[in-house]
Amino acid sequence: MRLDKWLWAARFYKTRTLATEEISKGRLQVNSQEAKPARDIKAGDTVAMRQGPVTRTVVIRGLSQQRGAAPVAQQLYEETTDSLRLREAAAEQRRLNNEPAASIEHGRPTKRDRRSMDKAGGKNWGDRWSASVDS
């Protein structure tokens, strides 16, 4: 069975085209070797794939010619214990280290916001000829 078709049937990718693109970018390895989309796979092969920052390693348990329900697709592979442990550690890191941009509450003020700040008693920018500090 073709690798790209198996990845689609096992629900790792939504379409075969996406699976083919990821394989072509070098993000998948079969038995520790670079793979091509048309590579033949069989039960017992090990597939290592990088999905975002996480690398998943699965052992192929079954082959399917068609894409089925998620519970059926999960029976086509078994994730290795090392892969599960690394995924959990990566999830914990993401949970503990928040995105720096998420802490920004407000961006640059709009023209309306600047006018309301001026009316509220902020600095009167109309009397200044420069934005530098007065000396």
Separation CA 63–CA 43 (nearest Å): 7
Does 131 have pLDDT greater than 80?
A: no
Average pLDDT for residues 122-129, to the nearest whole number?
Answer: 57
Between vectors from CA 9 to CA 6 and to CA 13, what angle results, nearest 5°? Answer: 90
Is residue 28 helix, strand or coil?
strand
How far is CA 43 from its chain centroid?
27
Q: Percent of the chain at pLDDT above 70?
A: 86
Separation CA 67–CA 58 (nearest Å): 18
Structural domains in the chain, CATH included, are 3-96 (3.10.290.10)
pLDDT single digits (tens) 1-59: 999 999 999 999 999 999 999 999 999 999 999 999 999 999 999 999 998 888 999 99
Q: What are phi and psi of 49, to 5 degrees?
A: -130, 145
What is the pTM assigned to this prediction? 0.69
